């Protein structure tokens, strides 16, 4: 985007300019590509592999098994059941069941969340770790869930996936087994308590024996303790059966309450919208019937009869709909019979509790008798007898409870839950990530893309003038482009000839007077092109008094004016190059001559042109140096003496070239441009910004100066590869003459 004549206009790069930008930013692209691709490869190879295993579980809606599945109510119910079971699988309760199985497993040492591996974490933290490894995905339009486990171990993912599926299947059975499930859960909890109590009793007995207590009891005492322990164990069994019966009663009472609620809820949820419509219509007919009865118009009895018939039909439809939705809700085919069966089970459990209470009373009397006998034992044997008796009670109670728990588990295994494992997980052979070839390829692509992006970003924010197209957008006459002059390359190419050159010629090489010591080079040809373009900038009256300047310092204006003067002199015209930079003169250094006696001598000391002009070893070229640096250069440039100076020069020379300070820095060039035929502006490629050139253009236009044109200096052809076609003829020229030189050398040989 550039501004021309202070107006901003959009600019889109041509496709060749894109290649130029990419070529200029090739090192950025290469650096970014190597850095990003190396980092992505390094991190990809260092990434911990992640494996995944999955099982599939079918979810059955037992309450909705025989209803019409095409019904919209049942479809919504099915979705809800799937969603509910998904959340149940992810619940902490199921995760706790899985964790318990993992800790008990023989493979616990291979599972990252087990107690054996993560001893530093408590149970809650390990359960959270386990839940983070799990994800649930329902399969669309089915009742099947995908249970997915991800981890860094292939064995672990398959083991956990299968354990999760098995434990959820068990959880589903427990949730759907009624009183059997409730009692099983109760027994499981009690079994854990008795197991811990037994361990404590055993440790206490062993400790007493180690400390020198009695190790062997008399036979009569041993028998007494065994019988007492059996009686105590029997009492514990009775109490356990009593609590189990109590668990049955609690569950059945809850079931009885929910039975009544479920019928009402299912009917109202599904049937309410349709039944309400029918009831509204009945209400409207009843209102109409009441109005007719009140009015008693002619034939009203016949109308009332018809209305009553319509109401009866609607009432029948309401009854029919209620029955239909009650059946589809799967509450119960016969709710009264269903509730009677529950009541029967409750009465049976209560009767069992009454019998257990009476039995417990009798057993307690027996235990009291044994306790009296134990109290009569010698004092030395009493403590050991107590510990021995407690251990045997706990042992027998544990065995009894374990047997009862196993009985219920067998009953449990014969039951069917809502969940069924369809496919078990298998151990994966390869990880799901990282996909090393893909990740590395992405890294290569990102590195390359980011490098290109950086190149275009730098080009976007780079406000400097680099190419011929940039100059042409300022609507200024373009005179030509001068490639970069590389002194080191020139010396290298001419190393064999350097001994034949004079000190003056060596100085000219260092001062970049390439038009003199290498007249057939592409750079010299560029200056000849500029010379021609200056001549033809005004066909009727070619400019003879020319100011050469730049926008800012260090753009190569003095080198350009020197080479331009040499090139014009080579065309046969008598040329004088004047160093009008009265602040920082450079021209005398380019030609290795003394600065003293120059422009200021004419302007201040009234010297003549012939007195201050210096001949060079270049035919037709004279130099007028700056002379002594004055305190008021701007006043001297603007004085009438300068006008006289120019008139005197016109009498002696065909072409007069002034080398002046930068336009923006001081006003000398602007003032002098009004006294001459025009000004040539030198712009260094990639150095000066567009705003500086525009500012110079505005300053010159403000005094109506004639801007002959712009020279693009220091153009790096190799760097600007995209614009190579503009400069191809320079190389053709160079190769052509270079070939001639080689032929001449061969001829001499």
Are both 443 and 358 inside the same structural domain?
no
Helix H or strand E segment including 7: strand 7-9
Are both 299 and 387 inside the same structural domain?
yes
**332 part of a folded domain:** yes
**483 part of a folded domain:** yes
pLDDT of residue 449: 92
pLDDT, tens digit, for every residue of 248-273?
777 767 766 655 444 444 444 444 45
130 alpha carbon, distance to own chain's centre? 26
Are both 546 and 573 inside the same structural domain?
yes
Which residues in the chain land under pLDDT 70? 1-14, 16, 61-78, 175-182, 212-221, 252, 255-296, 315, 318-356, 358-359, 362-363, 377-383, 411-417, 486-511, 718-749
Answer positive or negative: Cα dihedral of 519, 520, 526, 530.
Answer: positive
- CATH code at position 525: 3.40.50.300
CA–CA separation, 59 and 169 (whole Å)? 10
Question: What are the residues facing 2 on neighbouring strands?
Answer: 9
SS3 199: helix
Cβ–Cβ under 8 Å, residues 358 and 289 = no
**565 part of a folded domain:** yes
The pTM assigned to this predicted structure is 0.51
pLDDT of residue 748: 44
Cβ–Cβ under 8 Å, residues 580 and 668 = yes
Query: Which residues constitute the domain of residue 36?
Result: 15-47+434-461
**340 part of a folded domain:** yes
Are both 300 and 407 inside the same structural domain?
yes
Are both 403 and 337 inside the same structural domain?
yes
141 Rama sector, left if φ>0, alpha if ψ -120 to 50, beta otherwise: left
Alpha-carbon distances of 44 from 35, 438, 441, 512, rounded to whole Å? 14, 10, 11, 54
Are both 452 and 549 inside the same structural domain?
no
Q: Which two tokens stand for residue 509?
A: 């090489």
Are both 389 and 476 inside the same structural domain?
no
DSSP letter for each residue of 680-695: EEEEETTTSBHHHHHH
Are both 607 and 644 inside the same structural domain?
yes
Cβ–Cβ under 8 Å, residues 29 and 448 = yes
Cβ–Cβ under 8 Å, residues 472 and 478 = yes
Residue 718, judged by CB atoms within 10 A of its CB (0-12, 13-18, 19+), counts as exposed
Are both 562 and 661 inside the same structural domain?
yes
**600 part of a folded domain:** yes
**55 part of a folded domain:** no
Are both 571 and 678 inside the same structural domain?
yes
Cβ–Cβ under 8 Å, residues 705 and 678 = yes
Residue where one domain finishes, among candidates 396, 421, 446: 421
Are both 417 and 520 inside the same structural domain?
no
Number of domains in the chain: 3
**188 part of a folded domain:** no
Q: Which residues of 262-299 are buried (b: 16+ CB within 10 A; e: fewer)?
A: bbeebbeebbeeebeeeeeebeebeeebeeeeeeeeee
Cβ–Cβ under 8 Å, residues 252 and 346 = yes
Cβ–Cβ under 8 Å, residues 543 and 537 = yes
pLDDT of residue 57: 92
CA–CA separation, 642 and 637 (whole Å)? 6
Apex CA 685: angle with CA 684 and CA 689, to 5°? 80
Helix H or strand E segment including 58: strand 51-59
**411 part of a folded domain:** yes
Are both 472 and 457 inside the same structural domain?
no
């Amino acid at each position: 985007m550039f501004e021309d004549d202070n107006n901003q206009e959009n600019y889109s790069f041509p496709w060749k300019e894109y290649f130029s930008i990419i070529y200029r930013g090739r090192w950025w692209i290469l650096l970014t590509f190597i850095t990003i691709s190396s980092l992505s490869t390094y991190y990809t190879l260092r990434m911990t592999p992640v494996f995944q295993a999955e099982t599939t579980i079918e979810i059955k809606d037992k309450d909705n098994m025989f209803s019409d599945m095409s019904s919209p109510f049942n479809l919504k119910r099915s979705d809800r059941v799937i969603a509910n079971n998904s959340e149940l699988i992810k619940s902490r309760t199921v995760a706790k069941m899985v964790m318990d199985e993992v800790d008990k497993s023989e493979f616990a040492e291979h599972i990252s969340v087990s107690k054996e591996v993560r001893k530093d974490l408590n149970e809650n933290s390990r359960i959270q770790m386990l839940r983070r490894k799990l994800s649930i995905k329902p399969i669309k339009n089915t009742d099947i869930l995908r249970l997915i486990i991800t981890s860094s171990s292939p064995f672990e993912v398959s083991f956990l996936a299968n354990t999760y599926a098995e434990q959820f299947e068990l959880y589903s059975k427990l949730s759907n087994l009624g009183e059997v499930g409730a009692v099983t859960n109760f027994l499981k909890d009690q079994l854990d308590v008795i197991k811990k109590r037994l361990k404590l009793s055993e440790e206490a007995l062993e400790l007493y024996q180690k400390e020198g207590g009695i190790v062997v009891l008399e036979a009569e005492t041993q028998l007494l303790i065994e019988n007492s322990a059996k009686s105590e164990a029997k009492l514990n069994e009775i109490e356990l059966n009593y609590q189990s019966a109590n668990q049955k009663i609690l569950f059945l009472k809850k079931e009885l309450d929910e039975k009544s609620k479920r019928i009402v809820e299912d009917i109202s949820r599904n049937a309410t919208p349709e039944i309400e419509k029918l009831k509204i219509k009945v209400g409207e007919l009843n209102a109409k019937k009441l109005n007719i009865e009140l009015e008693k118009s002619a034939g009203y009895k016949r109308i009332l009869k018809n209305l009553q018939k319509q109401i009866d039909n609607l009432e029948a439809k309401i009854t029919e709909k209620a029955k239909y939705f009650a059946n589809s809700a799967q509450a119960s085919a016969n709710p009264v019979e269903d509730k009677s069966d529950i009541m029967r089970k409750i009465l049976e459990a209560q009767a069992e509790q009454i019998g257990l209470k009476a039995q417990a009373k009798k057993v307690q009397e027996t235990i009291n008798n044994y306790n009296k006998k134990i109290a009569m034992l010698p004092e030395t044997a009493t403590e050991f007898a107590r510990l021995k008796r407690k251990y045997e009670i706990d042992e027998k109670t544990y065995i009894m409870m374990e047997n009862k728990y196993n009985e219920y588990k067998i009953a449990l295994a014969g039951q069917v839950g809502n969940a069924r494992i369809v496919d078990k997980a298998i151990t994966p052979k390869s990880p799901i990530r990282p996909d090393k070839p893909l990740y590395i390829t992405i890294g290569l692509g990102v590195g390359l893309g980011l490098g290109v992006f950086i190149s275009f970003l730098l080009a976007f924010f780079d406000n400097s003038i680099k190419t011929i197209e940039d100059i042409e957008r300022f609507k200024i006459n373009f005179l030509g482009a001068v490639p970069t002059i590389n002194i080191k390359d020139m010396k290298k190419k001419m190393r064999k000839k350097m001994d034949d050159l004079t000190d003056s010629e060596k100085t000219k090489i260092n001062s970049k007077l390439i038009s003199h010591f290498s007249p057939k080079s592409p750079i010299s040809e560029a200056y000849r092109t500029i010379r021609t373009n200056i001549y033809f900038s005004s066909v009727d009256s070619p400019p003879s008094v020319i100011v050469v300047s730049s926008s800012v310092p260090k753009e190569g204006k003095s080198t350009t004016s020197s080479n331009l003067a040499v090139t014009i002199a080579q065309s046969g015209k008598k040329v004088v190059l004047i160093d009008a930079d009265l602040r920082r003169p450079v021209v005398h250094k380019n030609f290795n001559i003394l600065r003293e006696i120059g422009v200021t001598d004419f302007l201040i000391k009234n010297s003549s042109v012939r007195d201050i002009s210096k001949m060079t070893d270049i035919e037709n070229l004279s130099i007028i140096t700056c002379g002594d640096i004055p305190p008021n250069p701007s006043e001297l440039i603007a004085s009438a003496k300068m006008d006289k100076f120019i008139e005197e020069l016109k009498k002696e020379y065909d072409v007069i070239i002034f080398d002046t300070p930068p336009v923006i820095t001081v006003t000398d060039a602007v003032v002098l441009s009004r006294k001459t035929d025009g000004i040539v502006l030198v712009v260094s490629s990639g150095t000066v910004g567009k705003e500086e050139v525009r500012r110079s253009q505005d300053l010159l236009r403000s005094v109506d100066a004639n801007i002959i044109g712009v020279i693009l200096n220091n153009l790096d052809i190799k760097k600007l590869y995209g614009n190579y076609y503009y400069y191809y003829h320079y190389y053709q020229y160079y190769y052509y003459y270079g070939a001639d030189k080689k032929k001449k050398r061969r001829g001499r040989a």
